[in-house]
Structure 1
Amino acid sequence: MGQITVAQAIARLLEQMGTEVAFGLNGHGNWALLDALVHETKIQSVAVRSEDHAVELADGYWRRKRGAPLPIVTTSVGPGNMNAVPPIATAYYESIGMLVLAGVGATHWFDRGGIEEFYRQGPEDWVAILKPISKKAFTAIRPDTVLETFLRAYQTAHSGRPGPVVMALPFDIQNTLIPDDLPDPTPYMVSHRPAPDPQGVSEAIELLKSAERPYVVVGSGIANSGAYDALFEFAEATGIPVAVTPTGKAAFPEDHRLSLGCIGRAGTGQGNHGARRADVVIGVGTHFTDIDTGAWTLFDIPNATKLIHIDIDPTELGRAYPTAVALTSDARLGLEALTAAAREAGITERTAWTAELDGVRSKWLADTSEMRTSDIAPLHYARVTTDTAAVVAEKCPDASIHFDTGNMLSFGPSFLPASSRHVVHSGFMHRMGWSAASVLGASLASGRGPAVALLGDGAYLMRATVVPTAVELNLPIVWVVMDNRSLQIERETMLKLYGRESMCDYRIEGEQELWGPDYVGMSTAMGAQAVRVSKAADFKPALEEAIDSRKPTVISVDTELETPQYRAIWYPYPADYNATWKPGPLDDADAGHK
């Protein structure tokens, strides 16, 4: 029996487990692990320019793959590890599986307050910060047990409701010699998901049998479960229309006759109408956020509507609305059980209901047509998103499209028809600029296929330093940057609430005209191709050329700031601590601002 270091042992295990890529940044805390990964395995090592990029590339990789082998992230000590904290929070609340191997200082120096140690509340206590924002976070404490700990961490990250697991590895433990007879990692790569309780399924079917206006709404749980086919089969078998949340985008074919599109504050007319009118709602893999429900004003649960709620995480069941039936279950297994039981019960389409929704759909499409085809200059967001979807559908229909937060949140859900299952949105933490980095991970996960990020200029500026990484990897990434020199979604709402904006518009001090960086020049300096588009007719050709080039390309789009934007629901934020708030439909007098 020979001996190898802990770092070498972890690297070898990761390679045995089929790991394809590790994202990271060099720092003195993770030298041993980096040395082993880069020089002693065939795992692709991607060096990024900031630790948050590493986590967001892993995020995009997971969203494309949705399963083991996990993406691996490695970061290092003090501010390096702290840079990873915000995107780890995104990964946790959006159920993104990954393993973060964070280098920390040597145990010999713990609690001495050495360079970059988190020591004032306890010896090297950085992982304490991560407890509310990760599935598990801990520091390895013994070299002779570290491999067992590592394998359990790996299993935790991908099993059940997936999420980021953070394992801090002290420098001395990484370099300590241990026997080279490695454990079999296979058992830690397999997990079996929970199926629903049969009694609960029977109760759900009883509700559906008497429903006149049944309605399904799904979130990102469909993607993590791989429940696309199960959802399609359930809809086809029962004739129940399907809506999606922004994080559930692309879970159901948008050209299907039973598709209602997205719901919520930027939802479709038919999606939101169905939510208001439904008498039984089946929620799958969603916890009904304020974005999804217009601040909980769409559904009248439990008064006029009964909720059947399916989620793999029991703590999400009934969080926003009380349930008539709560099923702790994997989305795919839950839908398969409901499909079988519904067929046996003879549940079929309520044609009057679907005809009603068809009429609303036709009206909504007609009402929004002008935005989709707008020729205004600067450009309208709806025209840009519509044209993006059309170009991708024609040239690379399986490409990943990631749309960001900000004003894109008003258009990505309902004005970006999905040609594949890979149109995704970071819809809980809404970290600005997430898409700029995540599309690199998605491209790598798809075999270096094309990927498109749609984001505002404020978001791009926060994460633009990921461009050199795309250039170095020679990835076919297109960033479509909506440039209006303002934080538009905040500006619009502040004007509505207060009659004036605050810190939304950017300008040089003493000047009235709005100002922003030259994103074409900036992106070119970082090695990307770049072009500015100021006319609607020029956008499609620019995007087609960018995709055909298979080179990292930035398209800076001059976008309109003053034209009223799309918002399906305006609703009030509670602004008076002493006022009573409750969920449910708004009276006209209560319609608000956000």
Structure 2
Amino acid sequence: MSRGTRRLTTAQALVTFLSRQYTERDGVQQRLIEGCFGIFGHGNVAGVGQALLQQPDELTYYQARNEQAMVHAAVAYARTRRRLSTLACTASVGPGATNMVTGAALATINRLPVLLLPGDIFATRVASPVLQELELPYAADISVNDAFRPVSRFFDRIWRPEQLLSSAVQAMRVLTDQAETGAVTLALPQDVQAEAWDFPEEFFAERVWHIRRPAPDAASLAAALQAIRGAHRPLIVAGGGVIHSDASDVLADFAARTGVPVAVTQAGKASLPHGHPSLVGAIGHTGSFAANTLAREADVVIGIGTRWQDFTTASRTLFADPDVRFVNINIAAFDAAKQAGVSVVADARAAIEALDRELSFWEVESGYRARAVALARDWDAVVQASFDRPHSPLPSQSEIIGAANQLMGDRDVLICAAGSIPGDLHKLWRPADPLGYHVEYGFSCMGYEIAGGLGVKMAAPDREAVVMVGDGSYLMMAQEIATAVAEGLKLVIVLVQNHGYASIGALSESLGSARFGTNYRYRNSDSGHLDGGLLPVDLAANAASLGAEVLRATSLSEFRTAFAAALAADRTTVVHVETDPGTTSPSSEAWWDVPVAEVSTLASTQMARGTYESEKASQRPYLKP
């Protein structure tokens, strides 16, 4: 090693570099990359794998069972750490790498940082085509890893060791940029991973990335204040940005003082604790009638840290006042510009504090405040009724949610992602802590749940991580139960068995498609469809085979006993509960745009098309400046 340099392979240098990266916000410092998930193959075992083996004190290695799942776990880790810390994920070239593409899309859509290190084809091409290489006649420099480009916020392929110097720094910049963050992909050709180079020592110096809190500029703040002061029926829509920026406390104070009602998106569900006087519940297609009633009447809607997904806006039908205006507060200009209106590009906490200072003597009219409180109280009674309403012989999903909510501690974390459960949770769950509600609904990816629970537990080992998953999502990806067992990380998994896809089944029926293809059943020789008897699938036995303790329940009382035992256990425990898929949660009274066949011979589809056209007529562009 010459003076001022260190001779390392590209993979060794990258591992050392990653171990020296830190973030700092509000004076609190933590490691940016806390460890590395990996599954090894010929494309990374002798490169990144060798570096992790040789340098265990620099980056802890975690063995995963599925490449997509390990990205989900890293994303959940980052969300739990409020985007200030994350994990890296490495996979071999070929299918190992492309298995991570779904996770990359999920990370980018949810604006959550994760670092992906897929192996790649030989840079030298001396043995091309190599095993698992994609050959395209028109472009010799393209590999399967180019599939990461549209789902990554930053992508580079390290063709030479020296390219790592600039690329690694840019990768960290994107991971720590709260407005630009998402999946970051550094594709690593397998020969370059093992190639040595004299890396300058300053490349390995400790770097601290300061996480800024940009305040709103004077002009946009003035425009926002003018809109809010002129409002008679303002409504705040709190999104995930409130939680990422640790702004729940300032939002709680601002809303309580001014009386502006607060509705919450899926990502922002825990922005305010249940019982806050301004909280009117979930908004949109899976929302409460309290929030949605106020949304229809609102003349000024203040979106804070939301990207205005179609579920939030009920596919642009929810905000019905003809003169409604929007004030959009978001750290990302891209999201702040949505719904036209006033764009305030700022950190959520900094923006709320600025509004609070300037509106120190302003509050909503007393009658409007009282109306919001009354609507929230009425909705809370509906929720309680759905928890308490006895159902037999099998319990309803609402009863299971209510029992879990009652038995969990205030700091415990509920994790979910897809199927019918997230919609019910959005309506019914009563969070007490900003990090206590963890539902991935940007990509709503089936299979996220157990992997996400693993990531939550890794990021917050002092909290109980409670995964609620349906049988459909469980069958997509349950392997990380084995990872949790191997690492000694306790998960509580509530496995809701309803023998199919409950959410899509209900949607299919509402669209005139008769729940086609949504149940787990034998093929019926008479009809030719999968509508025969139930399949003899034992998911509880499957969970036990992966190393989990399993408790079975067939009634609400049995579930309560089993769930309490799982919370008290010291190892990963699955509570398997049969539910009635025919029961539904309270209606949100809000629409979702899913097109229905324009022509059909089925009467059910024809009827659904008529309803669709009627609802479609109420859609609006929301372009009023």
* Shared fold per TM-score greater than 0.5: yes
Could you tell me which residue of structure 2 aligns to residue 155 of structure 1? 173
Could you tell me which residue of structure 1 aligns to residue 603 of structure 2? none
Could you tell me which residue of structure 2 aligns to residue 353 of structure 1? 368
Cα displacement (A) at 1:111: 9.2
Alignment of structure 1 residues 165-564 onto 2, 5 Å: 165-179=184-198, 181-183=201-203, 186-187=206-207, 189-300=209-320, 303-319=322-338, 321-323=339-341, 325-343=342-360, 346-376=361-391, 377-393=393-409, 397-422=410-435, 423-447=437-461, 449-498=463-512, 500-510=514-524, 512-515=532-535, 517-564=537-584
For residues 309-339 of structure 1, give each alpha carbon's deviation from its aligned partner in whole angstroms, at most 9, with x where no partner exists: 11122222343x231x111222222222212
Cα distance in 1, alignment partners of residues 336 and 533 from structure 2:
50
1:11 counterpart = 2:36: no
Moved more, 149-158 or 232-241: 232-241
Could you tell me which residue of structure 1 aligns to residue 64 of structure 2? 48
Cα distance in 2, alignment partners of residues 110 and 545 from structure 1:
59
Moved more, 509-518 or 203-212: 509-518
Cα distance in 2, alignment partners of residues 304 and 254 from structure 1:
31
Contact between 2:327 and 2:343, CA under 8 Å: does it hold in 1? Answer: yes
For residues 290-319 of structure 1, give each alpha carbon's deviation from its aligned partner in whole angstroms, at most 9, with x where no partner exists: 211222221136x23211011122222343
Task: Give aligned pairs, total.
Answer: 577
Q: Aligned with 1:282: secondary structure?
A: strand
Cα distance in 2, alignment partners of residues 373 and 401 from structure 1:
20
Cα displacement (A) at 1:494: 1.8
Cα distance in 1, alignment partners of residues 612 and 481 from structure 2:
47
For residues 190-240 of structure 1, give each alpha carbon's deviation from its aligned partner in whole angstroms, at most 9, with x where no partner exists: 242432221111111112212111111011112222222332232234221
Measured on the aligned residues, the alpha-carbon RMSD in Å equals 2.3
For residues 163-187 of structure 1, give each alpha carbon's deviation from its aligned partner in whole angstroms, at most 9, with x where no partner exists: 1100011122222222352425555
Cα distance in 1, alignment partners of residues 615 and 170 from structure 2:
51
Contact between 1:111 and 1:122, CA under 8 Å: does it hold in 2? Answer: no
Contact between 2:284 and 2:590, CA under 8 Å: does it hold in 1? Answer: no
Could you tell me which residue of structure 1 aligns to residue 160 of structure 2? 142
AA at the equivalent of 1:326: S
List structure 1 runs of 4+ shifted beyond 6 angstroms: none
Moved more, 204-213 or 435-444: 204-213
> Relative to structure 1, is the Cα distance of residues 163 and 389 closer, same or farther in structure 2, using a 3 angstrom cutoff?
same
Cα distance in 1, alignment partners of residues 306 and 71 from structure 2:
23
Cα distance in 2, alignment partners of residues 541 and 96 from structure 1:
36
Cα distance in 2, alignment partners of residues 28 and 508 from structure 1:
40
AA at the equivalent of 1:567: S
Cα displacement (A) at 1:588: 12
Gaps of 5+ in 2: 22-30, 525-530, 600-610, 618-625
Cα displacement (A) at 1:90: 0.6
> Relative to structure 1, is the Cα distance of residues 91 and 336 closer, same or farther in structure 2, using a 3 angstrom cutoff?
same
Contact between 1:69 and 1:189, CA under 8 Å: does it hold in 2? Answer: no
AA at the equivalent of 1:552: T
Of residues 43, 63, 82, the one that matches 1:66 is 82
Contact between 2:281 and 2:376, CA under 8 Å: does it hold in 1? Answer: no
Moved more, 528-537 or 569-578: 569-578
Could you tell me which residue of structure 2 aligns to residue 33 of structure 1? 48
> Relative to structure 1, is the Cα distance of residues 375 and 185 closer, same or farther in structure 2, using a 3 angstrom cutoff?
farther
AA at the equivalent of 1:308: V
Q: Aligned with 1:192: secondary structure?
A: coil
> Relative to structure 1, is the Cα distance of residues 187 and 471 closer, same or farther in structure 2, using a 3 angstrom cutoff?
closer
Cα distance in 2, alignment partners of residues 33 and 448 from structure 1:
31
Cα distance in 1, alignment partners of residues 560 and 205 from structure 2:
48
1:109 counterpart = 2:125: yes
AA at the equivalent of 1:295: S
Cα distance in 2, alignment partners of residues 293 and 254 from structure 1:
22
Contact between 2:76 and 2:452, CA under 8 Å: does it hold in 1? Answer: yes
Cα distance in 2, alignment partners of residues 185 and 84 from structure 1:
30
> Relative to structure 1, is the Cα distance of residues 78 and 300 closer, same or farther in structure 2, using a 3 angstrom cutoff?
same
For residues 407-426 of structure 1, give each alpha carbon's deviation from its aligned partner in whole angstroms, at most 9, with x where no partner exists: 11221112111122221111
> Relative to structure 1, is the Cα distance of residues 183 and 233 closer, same or farther in structure 2, using a 3 angstrom cutoff?
farther
Contact between 2:285 and 2:590, CA under 8 Å: does it hold in 1? Answer: yes
Cα distance in 1, alignment partners of residues 398 and 449 from structure 2:
18
Contact between 2:153 and 2:182, CA under 8 Å: does it hold in 1? Answer: yes
> Relative to structure 1, is the Cα distance of residues 227 and 564 closer, same or farther in structure 2, using a 3 angstrom cutoff?
closer
Question: Counting helix residues as a fraction of each chain, which structure ranks higher?
Answer: 1
Cα displacement (A) at 1:488: 1.0
Q: Aligned with 1:357: secondary structure?
A: helix
Contact between 1:22 and 1:46, CA under 8 Å: does it hold in 2? Answer: yes
Cα distance in 2, alignment partners of residues 111 and 251 from structure 1:
55
Gaps of 5+ in 1: 579-585
Cα distance in 2, alignment partners of residues 448 and 79 from structure 1:
35
AA at the equivalent of 1:367: V
For residues 502-559 of structure 1, give each alpha carbon's deviation from its aligned partner in whole angstroms, at most 9, with x where no partner exists: 1111112347332352111111111111122110112122111111112111111101
Contact between 1:450 and 1:550, CA under 8 Å: does it hold in 2? Answer: no
Cα distance in 2, alignment partners of residues 110 and 171 from structure 1:
12
For residues 89-148 of structure 1, give each alpha carbon's deviation from its aligned partner in whole angstroms, at most 9, with x where no partner exists: 010000111111111132112793321123314324334212221101120122123133
Could you tell me which residue of structure 1 aligns to residue 594 of structure 2? 573
Q: Aligned with 2:162: secondary structure?
A: coil
Cα displacement (A) at 1:340: 1.5
AA at the equivalent of 2:477: R
AA at the equivalent of 1:213: R
Contact between 1:254 and 1:260, CA under 8 Å: does it hold in 2? Answer: no
AA at the equivalent of 1:281: V
Q: Aligned with 1:246: secondary structure?
A: coil
Could you tell me which residue of structure 2 aligns to residue 590 of structure 1? 615
Cα displacement (A) at 1:241: 1.6
Cα distance in 2, alignment partners of residues 369 and 416 from structure 1:
10
> Relative to structure 1, is the Cα distance of residues 516 and 205 closer, same or farther in structure 2, using a 3 angstrom cutoff?
farther
> Relative to structure 1, is the Cα distance of residues 191 and 366 closer, same or farther in structure 2, using a 3 angstrom cutoff?
closer
> Relative to structure 1, is the Cα distance of residues 570 and 190 closer, same or farther in structure 2, using a 3 angstrom cutoff?
closer
Contact between 1:243 and 1:263, CA under 8 Å: does it hold in 2? Answer: yes
> Relative to structure 1, is the Cα distance of residues 544 and 564 closer, same or farther in structure 2, using a 3 angstrom cutoff?
closer
TM-score of the pair, normalised by structure 1: 0.92
